[in-house]
Chain A
Amino acid sequence: MKAILLAIVGLLAVCLPASATQCHVNPVNIPREWVTMHRNCRMSMRQQIQMEVAASLQYLAMGAHFSKDVINRPGFSKLFFDAASEEREHAMKLIEYLLMRGELTTDVTTLLQVRAPERKTWEDGVAALEHALRMESEVTKSIRNVIKSCEDDSEFNDYHLVDYLTGEFLEEQYKGQRDIAGKASQLKKLMDRHNALGEFIFDKKLLGIDI
């Protein structure tokens, strides 16, 4: 008796999928020769995307810090919140690139993780700008490493990606670093003799208010 029941259940299991509601269109196969990115290059791009996401979160924490009532530096807060959105856009741009090259048909879910930023407080504006500058240098170094792994592949030199990273990303990194470095030194000079006042005025300057 039991055997018959089992057989029926087994039969149902086999037959059911055939008559089940189909909620999607079956995937099709098309040639894949055009999908040419190599493993090391792909992996380093994926890591770079995660790094941009991490940078966006670190900048969010900076924005939050300078937005506090006891800190009260809305100019710095705006600067860092904007930087956070920019980092998110960098992650999106790299993702767009991978999609253009036929990537991200699988393993999309594992592409990035949201982890709480490491640092939450800074002594003053200078400390935060210096932290930002160090962080950007790390990012620049990391992009250079992506370029290396996409260029040095013995079977496939990924000229186009290398050009894209060099022309778009390194360009933006160097300009961005120069901007932060200029701000950090200007603020440091201002704060040398007039600590609180210097930071106050610089903050308003960041807001676009002339005093």
Chain B
Amino acid sequence: MKAVIVALSCLLALSGTLAADTCYQDVSLDCGQASNTLALPRCNAVYGEYGRHGNVATELQAYANLHLERSYEYLLSAAYFNNYQTNRLGFSKLFKKLSDEAWEKTIDIIKHVTMRGDEMNFEQRSTMKVERKNYTVELHELEALAKALDTQKEIAERAFYIHREATRNSQHLHDPEVAQYLEEEFIEDQSKKIRELAGHTSDLKKFITTNNGQDLSLALYLFDEYLQKSG
């Protein structure tokens, strides 16, 4: 008796991991039934236990939401540096570009969420999410760059986190598709962006510290011109 149960549970376990012909089974069962409805619950895009174990599915939803929020924050920074008092069109351009990129990524992640058979939840937040205190876009140039650098690191480190969750290599938590998506569409570009922003802060730091800070107003003007013409 015990042996039979063990054999049965083994079989069940197997059918859980290896996606047997389940959609086909639904079709065979439902077609030819007296009723005119087809439920076919297993005819969907879900595979590899996506959304059933671990938090990769919800973290990906949250990753879209993170990009969405940051995209509109960057848009406000771009606006602030474009008012007549700040008048830093190069800084404005830098933030506009960050905003555009984050917006495009938002849509891309949403598409990816649905590609994997899930639905988008705009309310989903990451377990890694840190609530921000006293958030403001009304910052001077170096402060704003520092904030942008921190934000890009937050976005990049979140990709690392989801990648880690996706590649635990255990029976239920291994999703190379998500891992390669993150690597290809996010991780590579993120390192470049972070390096670029860190480089900008280094330049500003030098302008501030050399010549007793006497160069600053001209330096900021020229650096802004440089930002307008590059990138």
Task: Please tell me the number of chain B residues within 8 Å of chain A, measured between CB atoms.
Answer: 42
- State which of B107, B113, B122, B136 has its C-beta within 8 Å of the C-beta of A117: B122
Chain B residues near A70 (CB-CB < 8 A):
44
- B135 & A109 in contact (Cβ 8 Å cutoff): yes
Which B residues are closer than 8 A to A by beta carbons? 44-46, 68-69, 72, 75-76, 79-80, 82-86, 103, 106-107, 110-111, 113-115, 117, 119-120, 122-123, 135-138, 140-143, 208-209, 213, 216-217, 220
- A60 & B106 in contact (Cβ 8 Å cutoff): yes
Cα A92 to Cα B119 in complex, Å, equals: 29
Which A residues are closer than 8 A to B by beta carbons? 21-25, 27, 53, 57, 60-61, 63-65, 67-70, 77, 81, 84-85, 88, 91-92, 95-96, 99, 102-106, 108-109, 111-112, 114, 116-117, 120
Tell me whether A69 and B122 are in contact in the complex, defined as CB-CB below 8 angstroms, given that A24-B141, A25-B217, A111-B76 are known contacts. no
Chain B residues near A24 (CB-CB < 8 A):
140-143, 216, 220
- B103 & A88 in contact (Cβ 8 Å cutoff): yes
Distance in Å from the Cβ of B227 to the closest Cβ of chain A?
16
- A114 & B69 in contact (Cβ 8 Å cutoff): yes
Query: By CB atoms of chain B within 10 A, which of A69, A96, A105, A111 has the most?
Result: A69
- State which of A60, A68, A108 has its C-beta within 8 Å of the C-beta of B138: A108
A-B contact count (CB 8 A): 104
Chain A residues near B106 (CB-CB < 8 A):
60
Task: Provide 23 A-B residue pairs closer than 8 Å at the C-beta atoms, listed in order of the A residue.
Answer: A21-B209, A21-B213, A23-B140, A24-B142, A25-B217, A25-B220, A53-B72, A60-B110, A61-B122, A63-B110, A64-B113, A64-B114, A68-B114, A68-B119, A69-B44, A85-B107, A102-B83, A103-B83, A105-B86, A108-B80, A108-B138, A109-B135, A120-B122
- State which of A68, A88, A105 has its C-beta within 8 Å of the C-beta of B84: A105
- State which of B114, B208, B209 has its C-beta within 8 Å of the C-beta of A67: B114
- A116 & B138 in contact (Cβ 8 Å cutoff): no
Cα A111 to Cα B79 in complex, Å, equals: 10
- A109 & B137 in contact (Cβ 8 Å cutoff): yes
